[in-house]
Structure 1
Amino acid sequence: MSGPFSDLTETLFADKSVLSESYHPEEILERDEEIEEYRYALQDILFGRDPENVMLYGKAGLGKTAVTKYMTDALREEVASREEADDLFVHEVNCNGKTLFMVVRRLVNELLPEDASQFPKRGLGTGDAFDELYRQLDRLGGTHLIVFDEIDHLDDVNTLLYELPRARSNGHLETSRIGIIGISNNYTFRNSLSSKVKDTLMETEISFSPYDAGELRTILYDRADRAFVDGAYDKSAITMAAALAAQDMGNARQAIDLLRVGAEVAEKAGDTRVVDDHIENARTLVQRGRLRNRIRDQTQHAQYILETVAHLENRGQTPVRSKTIRANYEDVATSWASEPLTTLKSIQDHLAELHMLGFLRRTEKNHGLSGGHYYEYELDLEPGVVLETRETIEGEEQTV
């Protein structure tokens, strides 16, 4: 008796994982200049010297995390053969949605011996967590590179970036060294730091620019040769996926997603080759997925405000002023057991940012001396996508 899967005997994919977000290529293509800058920034580690701090800037999908993984893996391998180099430890923390205490606590728990009790979630403060972090770093000794991905989303980033680079000079560390690698999607992140933090960091800045269509073609041909069986794609489909991604954000992740989803569309249709039409059909599906990821990339309270406007949109109450948004936002934040922002100005700042990022439409109103000057806001995307994404995010948070 045949089952629902019995007719699935062929696939376009030789290794589909090559097109997944978790895939780390052995060779990084089209980022030679950035790799060279990175190499010089990290070279002191090979000679037992204090590592430089490094800040990477660029929008999502431009290779920052992939290049960092590639460089730290290569560095660890090289350190193992160098007598002058201390033992190297690399720690990775994603800062999105995290408090400073959560980030430091996670580092502490990663460093603790296996038989030690975890650092408590409650009862101790951030200062206690830093003290324990320093104890564990010195217990291990060596050089520690700490990679803070999405560092621009951390709530008290000034304290983190002031505390860690000065730990050795302030006498908190004796046998270990710390280097910071910060990864930010925000090109202007450094401008938000305090002057004393900027003076302390003395970091190397590496900016990742968008890929052009030619660079994306090179990346896609390399992935396609590994991902698909022979003869499973047209060259024109590669060219189209690269061109679409280059015209949009210059984003390698988007280009790879277009190729993967295009192949999935082809398989569902029973076709044996990915062609231009499959890439075009994949475009709508990928755009919807990218929108969900962009919502996830926003800070917690920016997401609450988006959710608020989505509810107002569904009730037919938009365009709407910031005062009304604030009143409804407080209910949304409270419903997720979060303390709302306290000032109208903070809400207006988030609204301005969400407008600039393309999530909201803003209409200027000016009624003269009697009515005043103000803005009204409405969503510039489907409210259903916002609400579905928010439900998913909160569901994931509750399972952590």
Structure 2
Amino acid sequence: MGLFEPDTDIYRDRDALREDYQPTEIIGRDDELNRYISALQPVINGDQPNNIFLYGKAGVGKSACTRYLLDELKQDATRHDVTLSTIFTNCEDLNTSYQVSVELVNELRPPDDQINTTGYPQHRVNEMLWEELDSLGGTVIIVLDEVDHLRNDSILYQIPRARANGNLDDAKVGIIGISNDFKFRDTLSSKVQSSLCEKELQFPAYDAEELRAILRQRADTAFYDDVVSQDVLALCAAFGAQDAGDARQSLDLLMEAGDLAAEENVEELTEYHVREARSRMEESRVKDGIIGLTDQGKLVLYALLMTEQAGKTPTRARELQARYELVCDRYGVSPLVPRRMRDHLNELAMLGIANSNERNEGEAGGRYYEYELATDRELLLDALSDTVDNVGDPERLKQQFQRS
């Protein structure tokens, strides 16, 4: 017998729990799908497609619904003799319109005819893009996932106006933008907002009942019969609803629990496996997040940890500043200006290491954010061990701060 043998007791198809798995039915998004179908209707009519922007937190079904509906749309387009092409581009590592244009050109060209990400002026790259799009002809839908990563939005102006500006003759192009940032549209220039004329769809977080239905659908495919009970799915769904209604996190949790059961060579998942999996995932997420922080980001987190131990959270950024400056002094670096320190606090909130809560005190107090830890303190201390070695124990530093 070899070192590796197929598992036969737990998983039927583990890939059904992965992010790239496309289910045959979308659960918990009936209202959103109906509005999405209405927004895509011009494609089947042979008209210029709408520009559609989807907003919602990660893991609420934006990308899954998009892939599902575009697959259905392509099938129906074939039946109605409509020429339809779709292009998916993830903007996570693309923050300029130039980079997006190059990526789109390369998506449309064969592997032996790719262009470099440098060396061409923007107008020439755009000309290549118009040439490739017109060579497709018909209707072209460009999906820009994580579009909120763009720091230069001219591509969102150029594509919608390409036909009106005489850059396209044969292709009718529409954009589908997918964003985790509900305020992304507000960051766009006024001319982009005017030219997009987009349909907006909001995707709310899943509740526990919807998450349970999604997990049941995937579990029926992923696991053998009688491996996963309703109680196990309910617990995964409850944790998912607690963690911002994120289906991706719930599915990851279920898969981690399944892997634990497989490691133990048992034939059934239990609530113990779910709780243990959640603990492992939380520890890994926090450590990975902290490893990716800059030194200043770690110092801001350390100051927030001090404030938490002093019982002074939630706290405003300006109230954290003095502790942060003490930590910087002990570390031997100059503190950042308050605005840059707030940027690091917001990054901690984005990573789920801290919570950021908006407060509105009306005309008297105005609007502001308060911050507090969202992670176990002992876990943070372990992950910040190098910083602790350089700065000192946070409890002693807290006492020094109180005496100063």
Aligned to 2:126: 130
User: Which residues of 2 match residues 8-19 of structure 1 at below 5 A?
Assistant: 10-19=8-17
Give 2:347's match in structure 1, choosing from 338, 354, 359. Answer: 354
The 3 A distance-change label for structure 1 pair 324 and 141 is: farther
Judge conservation of contact 2:208–2:238 (CA < 8 Å) in 1: yes
Judge conservation of contact 2:301–2:345 (CA < 8 Å) in 1: no
The 3 A distance-change label for structure 1 pair 324 and 146 is: farther
Give 2:298's match in structure 1, choosing from 307, 310, 322. Answer: 310
Give 1:95's match in structure 2, choosing from 91, 98, 106. Answer: 91
Percent identity over paired residues: 36
Give the CA deviation at 1:90: 0.6
Aligned to 1:320: 324
Whole-Å separation in 1 of the counterparts to 2:265 and 2:15: 21
Q: Kindly indicate whether residue 242 of structure 2 is the aligned counterpart of residue 238 of structure 1.
A: no
Aligned to 2:391: none
User: Which residues of 2 match residues 348-387 of structure 1 at below 5 A?
Assistant: 348=341, 350-354=343-347, 356-357=349-350, 358-359=352-353, 382=380
Unpaired runs of 5+ residues, structure 2, are 307-322, 357-368, 386-404
Judge conservation of contact 2:290–2:298 (CA < 8 Å) in 1: no
Whole-Å separation in 2 of the counterparts to 1:386 and 1:73: 46
SS at match of 1:272: coil
The 3 A distance-change label for structure 1 pair 278 and 42 is: same
Q: CA RMSD in A?
A: 3.6
Whole-Å separation in 2 of the counterparts to 1:236 and 1:47: 47
Q: Kindly indicate whether residue 143 of structure 2 is the aligned counterpart of residue 139 of structure 1.
A: no
Aligned to 1:394: none
Judge conservation of contact 2:301–2:348 (CA < 8 Å) in 1: no
Judge conservation of contact 2:85–2:136 (CA < 8 Å) in 1: no
Give 1:248's match in structure 2, choosing from 237, 243, 246. Answer: 243
Whole-Å separation in 2 of the counterparts to 1:33 and 1:9: 39
SS at match of 1:220: helix
Whole-Å separation in 2 of the counterparts to 1:147 and 1:283: 33
Judge conservation of contact 2:140–2:174 (CA < 8 Å) in 1: yes
Give the CA deviation at 1:144: 1.1
Letter in 1 for 2:297: V
Aligned to 2:402: none
Letter in 2 for 1:143: T
Q: What's the TM-score, normalizing by structure 1?
A: 0.77
Judge conservation of contact 1:310–1:383 (CA < 8 Å) in 2: no
Give the CA deviation at 1:215: 0.8
The 3 A distance-change label for structure 1 pair 378 and 162 is: same
Q: What's the TM-score, normalizing by structure 2?
A: 0.76
Aligned to 2:107: 110
What per-residue deviation string (whole Å, max 9, x for no partner) do you get for residues 186-214 of structure 1?
Answer: 11111111222111111111111111111
Judge conservation of contact 1:313–1:383 (CA < 8 Å) in 2: no
Unpaired runs of 5+ residues, structure 1, are 297-302, 331-342, 363-374, 388-400
SS at match of 1:206: strand
The 3 A distance-change label for structure 1 pair 291 and 28 is: farther
The 3 A distance-change label for structure 1 pair 155 and 286 is: same
Letter in 1 for 2:11: F
Give the CA deviation at 1:127: 2.5
SS at match of 2:86: strand
What per-residue deviation string (whole Å, max 9, x for no partner) do you get for residues 5-63 of structure 1?
Answer: 46x76331111111111211111111111111110111101121100000001111101
Letter in 1 for 2:109: L
Letter in 2 for 1:273: E
Aligned to 2:220: 225
SS at match of 1:226: helix
Judge conservation of contact 1:210–1:251 (CA < 8 Å) in 2: yes
Whole-Å separation in 2 of the counterparts to 1:135 and 1:386: 52
Judge conservation of contact 1:168–1:177 (CA < 8 Å) in 2: yes
Letter in 2 for 1:347: R
Whole-Å separation in 1 of the counterparts to 2:384 and 2:56: 24
SS at match of 1:80: helix
